[in-house]
Amino acid sequence: MTAQSWDTARRVLCVRLDSFGDVLMTGPAMEALRDAVPGRTITLLTSPSGAQAASVMPVFDDVICYEAPWMKHSAQRSRGDIDRAFIEQLAAARFDAACICTVSSQTPFPAALACLLADIPLRLAHVREQGYQLLTHAVPEPEPAQDVRHEVQRQLDLVATVGAPAAARPIHVDVNEEDRRAVAMELTARGLAMAPLVVLHPGASAPSRRYPAARYAAAAEQLVADGVPLLVVGGDTDRPVVDALQAAAGVELPTWVGSLSTGVLAALLERADVVIANNSGPAHLASALGTPIVSLYAMTNPQHTPWMVQHDVLQHDVPCRWCRRSECPELHHRCLTGVEPAQVVEAVRGRLRALGIRVPTTSRGLTCVS
């Protein structure tokens, strides 16, 4: 089949079985794919974490949640009943085409087989090996030997091969007024409603991507001493990291942990003046909202830096860079532990100054530069 076969595909399945940030970074490509054909709809097939991101992404008309057994965080099972029922669900939806989005180190073939068994006639993906009949549109994977692209650009390049070319575009998310009101009430209760605001999100799904809690604590202490209004946030799974950060800090830090829906988190990051985060889903959410980011960026993957937003990437170069591992294979985490807390503080101060907010070096508070 040729790329023109996609011209008649109205019901498209986007397969992105990774996590929160990966789904966000797929958004621009899915917008390009949707816009290429009038009336085209996009359904997302994703993980539970990816479904949380999709809840604020207007590009998706529907979401199918599936814990694929070939993905890292899938639930354990000894029988294939769930998977057979999943194939039947896909087949019943009668999709015209499937765009299988993976990171460069993943194979698309299990997902492609699922789409073939579900009678989806057009199947697109990046490949390194021959997929034969698994894919109707196989795009050679140049990474990492020939090229390294940002993950957003990589997916834009993929859909361009089937008639959906697009220039680089931002990630789009929706923030509703109810979530904005919830954030405003919370910040008012904490005395932060009228002040500039720095949000620190210390969590990340992979341990190799987490800046040490003690170093975050040292940076947070200095920012608070400088009078910077700071709020440490995280979901339920981030509670141990936030607790460790608070325990290491010499001052009481304001925290908001556990009760943040994706919509409320989006509203909070939209309200923030600067976000401090690891290479994580919240960093990509802040990117989508246009909020400047100070990124503690582990050198595990080169393609996931903040996209189309003002940012600082803080990292320490190491010989084992770009390991693409969830656990540090060298057990030293030097690509992050080599970043001093003072560098974090200075990056935040620089971002605030760029917004016209002067940060003194004492606890006298912040003033706006006229």
Please write the tens of the pLDDT for every residue from 43-59.
Answer: 999 999 999 999 999 99
For residue 311, what are the CA distances in angstroms to 114, 284, 351? 39, 11, 8
Q: Would residue 170 count as lying in a domain?
A: no
C-alpha of 175 from chain center: 16
Rounded distance between C-alpha atoms, residue 177 and residue 165, angstroms: 33
Rounded distance between C-alpha atoms, residue 158 and residue 307, angstroms: 18
The reply to whether 290 and 189 lie within a common domain is yes
Q: Would residue 296 count as lying in a domain?
A: yes
Q: What six digits make up the tokens of 356?
A: 């016209």
The reply to whether 118 and 216 lie within a common domain is no
The reply to whether 204 and 250 lie within a common domain is yes
For 81, the domain range is 3-160
Domains in the chain, number? 2
Q: Would residue 166 count as lying in a domain?
A: no
pTM metric for this prediction:
0.92
Q: What is the pLDDT of residue 4?
A: 52
Q: What is the pLDDT of residue 13?
A: 98
Q: Would residue 169 count as lying in a domain?
A: no
Q: What is the pLDDT of residue 89?
A: 95
The reply to whether 140 and 195 lie within a common domain is no
Q: Would residue 172 count as lying in a domain?
A: no
Q: Would residue 358 count as lying in a domain?
A: yes
Average pLDDT, the chain: 92
Rounded distance between C-alpha atoms, residue 331 and residue 63, angstroms: 38
The reply to whether 229 and 334 lie within a common domain is yes
The reply to whether 119 and 197 lie within a common domain is no
Q: What six digits make up the tokens of 318?
A: 């190491």
When pLDDT is cut at 50, 70 and 90, the band that residue 64 belongs to is very high
Residue 322, phi-psi category: left (phi > 0), alpha (psi -120 to 50), beta (remainder): left
Domain of residue 14, CATH code: 3.40.50.2000
Q: Which of 59-63, 68-72, 299-303 has the highest mean pLDDT?
A: 59-63
The answer to whether 265 and 272 have CB atoms below 8 angstroms apart is no
C-alpha of 135 from chain center: 27
The reply to whether 187 and 69 lie within a common domain is no
The reply to whether 231 and 85 lie within a common domain is no
The reply to whether 197 and 297 lie within a common domain is yes
Task: Tell me phi and psi for residue 238, to 5 degrees.
Answer: -90, -5
Mean per-residue pLDDT for 191-215?
A: 93
The reply to whether 244 and 272 lie within a common domain is yes
User: Count of H helices and E strands in the chain?
Assistant: 12, 14
Q: Would residue 325 count as lying in a domain?
A: yes
The reply to whether 69 and 209 lie within a common domain is no
Q: Would residue 165 count as lying in a domain?
A: no
- The region of weakest confidence among 21-30, 141-150, 252-261 is 141-150
The reply to whether 187 and 226 lie within a common domain is yes
